[in-house]
Structures are given as C-alpha cells and as structure tokens.
Amino acid sequence: MGKDVIIACDFASAEETIRFLDKFNKIRDEVVSCDHVSISVSRPFVKIGMELFYAEGPQIVKTLKERGHKVFLDLKLHDIPNTVKKTMQVLGEYGVDMVNVHAAGGIEMMKAAKEGLMLGAVRYADKPKLIAVTQLTSTDEETMHRELLIDKPLDQVVRQYALNAKAAGLDGVVCSAHEAADIHAACGSDFLTVTPGIRLAGDSAGDQKRVMTPADAKTVGSDYIVVGRSITGEPKPIDAYTKCREDFIG
Ligand code: C5P
C-alpha cells in the first residue's frame, strides 16, 4: 500500500453511503500509480466506522469491496486478548484491507489481535494491515492529564503506544499528523502512520482538537490521511477529495 486519502464514510446507512459514493462514478477513472501501487480515483479507499457497521453489519463491507473500494474497518477493538483474537478472526474473513485496535489494550492484546486477523485472512493473498489507535485526535494533553490521569506528556504517551504496537507486530498506528514524524523516527519509516484530524484550510475543526491540512500532513510524512467532514460535509465532495489528493499525493 502506498500513500492515499481514506474517506471516512461516517453515514447512518448503506443507502446514504452508496448515494455518496455514486457521485464518484462521474470521475473519469484514472488509475494513478504511487509508490508502485495503483489507486483507482473513482473507487476511493473508504473507512467504515462504528456507526455504519453497527447499523448495517458485515454486508456493508461486502458491498463496498464488491464495488472495488479498499476498506479500512475502523472498529477500534479494546477487550481482553482472547475476545479480541476471536473477533479479529471474524473481521479477517471479511477481506478488509485495514483494521484497528486501541493500543491502550496493551501488547498482549495487540499480539492476539494480529494472530486472530491472520487466521481469518488466511485465504487472501493481500494480508490486511493491522494498526493501533494511540490517542484519539479528539483528546488533548489537558484531557489526558485531567480525566485519564495519565501525567506524562502526550507525545511521550503516543510514542510509547506506537513502540508497543510495533513490538506486538502491528503495521502501524492511527495518530495525529502532528505525531507522524516522531513516530517514524521512533519506529522506522516503514511503520505506517494513518492520520485523521485532517481539515482543508478554512474548514471548521469541529470536535477534533489536533488538526492539520493535507499539504502539511504530506510534509510531516503521514502515510494515509483519513478525511471525513472536509469531504463528506462539502457541497462539492469530489472537488474536496481531488484537492486532498493533490495536496497530499500530487
Ligand atoms: O470528520 P472527520 O474528518 O473529523 O472524521 C475523522 C474520522 O476519523 C472519524 O471517522 C473518526 O472516528 C476517525 N478517527 C479519529 N481519530 C482517531 C481515530 C479515528 O478522528 N484517533
């Protein structure tokens, strides 16, 4: 996998999601090559989050895979290792391209997640990437200190969580773009940084506290940017997506 823009399809139903993704049919299909990976512009890489998955179940993954999308299933598992392993096995069977856990679950849980995922994905040649959420991009240092009673600096916590994920054999982390360079320095350039909290210049941050533009995310070395409302909430989402791609990849 190379650099790409992942659209967060935070919609309430399959119908709404398909209606949104159908708009991309109008784009002339241009398969661009980036880091030796082909990316279909009219079938963007999409992220299915909890809202859509819990509303529609596994069928939504199947539907989007059949349409030709790469799918990041963002369910952020966090439970005891045995439960996470068995659940990951189920998710691996869906043929997802990327899936995640919370790094706060610890190394043993992350190792179990990887084992389960690989068992589930045994019949797929392209193995799914497993990444760990460090700290949510809606959490800032003050919240971490005051509510979670984690008194270390945010960047140190994020770095440690990333090192734990690497020790567990994961492919990378979900983190703020502000942390991408530091994580690559600590974990190596092959360790993926998947960065939400992305806003086009002038867009409202909403509930996100640590935001960055696609152009700046490129500069700091993010591998994937996850963009929701800056694309899905726009009157011209294709233009917004194209702008994100140009600024991040082009
Ligand atoms: O609309 P917006 O661009 O803020 O959406 C960001 C997406 O990335 C949401 O689907 C959110 O759940 C997800 N996410 C995040 N921060 C993380 C992990 C995932 O915002 N640390």
Which pLDDT does position 205 carry in this prediction?
85
Distance from the Cα of residue 4 to its chain's centroid = 11
Which pLDDT does position 28 carry in this prediction?
61
Per-residue pLDDT reduced to its tens digit, 170-190: 999 999 999 999 999 999 999
Q: What average pLDDT score do residues 51-71 get?
A: 97
Per-residue pLDDT reduced to its tens digit, 108-134: 999 999 999 999 999 999 999 999 999
Tell whether the model's pLDDT for residue 63 goes beyond 90. yes
Tell whether the model's pLDDT for residue 31 goes beyond 70. no
Instruction: State whether the beta carbon of 226 lies less than 6 angstroms from ligand 1.
Output: yes
**pLDDT band with cut points at 50, 70 and 90 for residue 208:** confident
Which pLDDT does position 32 carry in this prediction?
53
Which pLDDT does position 138 carry in this prediction?
81
Q: Nearest C-alpha to atom 14 of ligand 1 is from which residue? A: 196
Q: Nearest C-alpha to atom 21 of ligand 1 is from which residue? A: 136
Could you please report the per-residue DSSP string of 25-56?
Answer: GGSPP-EEEETTEEEETTS-EEEE-HHHHHHH
CA angle 18, 24, 28 (to 5 degrees): 150
**What is the best residue among 76, 131, 137, 227 to mutate for testing ligand 1's pocket, by most ligand atoms within 8 Å of CB?**
137
CA of 196 to the centre of ligand 1 (A): 5
CA of 178 to the centre of ligand 1 (A): 15
The residues, ordered by sequence, that sit 6+ positions from 233 with a Cβ below 8 Å of its Cβ are none
Instruction: State whether the beta carbon of 117 lies less than 6 angstroms from ligand 1.
Output: no
| pTM metric for this prediction | 0.92
What are the residue boundaries of the structural domains of the chain, listed by start?
4-248
Angle at which helices 107-120 and 81-93 pack, to 10 degrees?
Answer: 30
Position of tokens 């109008």? 26
Question: Euclidean distance between the first and final Cα of the chain, in Å?
Answer: 16
Amino acid identity at 27? I
Query: How would you write the chain as a 3-class SS string?
Result: CCCEEEEECCCCCHHHHHHHHHHHHHCCCCEEEECCEEEECCCCEEEECHHHHHHHCCHHHHHHHHCCCCEEEEEEECCCHHHHHHHHHHHHHCCCCEEEEEHHHCHHHHHHHHHHHHHHCCCCCCCCEEEEECCCCCCCHHHHHHCCCCCCCHHHHHHHHHHHHHHCCCCEEECCHHHHHHHHHHHCCCCEEEECCECCCCCCCCCCCCCECHHHHHHCCCCEEEECHHHHCCCCHHHHHHHHHHHHCC
Tell whether the model's pLDDT for residue 135 goes beyond 70. yes
Domain 4-248 in this protein, CATH class = alpha beta
Tell whether the model's pLDDT for residue 25 goes beyond 80. yes
Instruction: State whether the beta carbon of 197 lies less than 6 angstroms from ligand 1.
Output: yes
Which pLDDT does position 37 carry in this prediction?
46
Cα separation, 198 vs 192, whole angstroms: 17
Tell whether the model's pLDDT for residue 137 goes beyond 80. no
Tell whether the model's pLDDT for residue 1 goes beyond 60. no
Mean pLDDT score of the chain: 93
Which pLDDT does position 34 carry in this prediction?
47
**CA dist 162 to 75, 79, 133, 246, Å?**
18, 18, 9, 28
CA of 222 to the centre of ligand 1 (A): 15
Which pLDDT does position 36 carry in this prediction?
47
**What is the best residue among 136, 143, 183, 213 to mutate for testing ligand 1's pocket, by most ligand atoms within 8 Å of CB?**
136
Which pLDDT does position 201 carry in this prediction?
87
Per-residue pLDDT reduced to its tens digit, 141-174: 999 999 999 999 999 999 999 999 999 999 999 9
Catalytic: 76? yes
Which pLDDT does position 206 carry in this prediction?
86
Per-residue pLDDT reduced to its tens digit, 36-52: 445 556 799 999 999 99
Which pLDDT does position 29 carry in this prediction?
57
**CA dist 217 to 1, 20, 180, 222, Å?**
17, 25, 8, 6
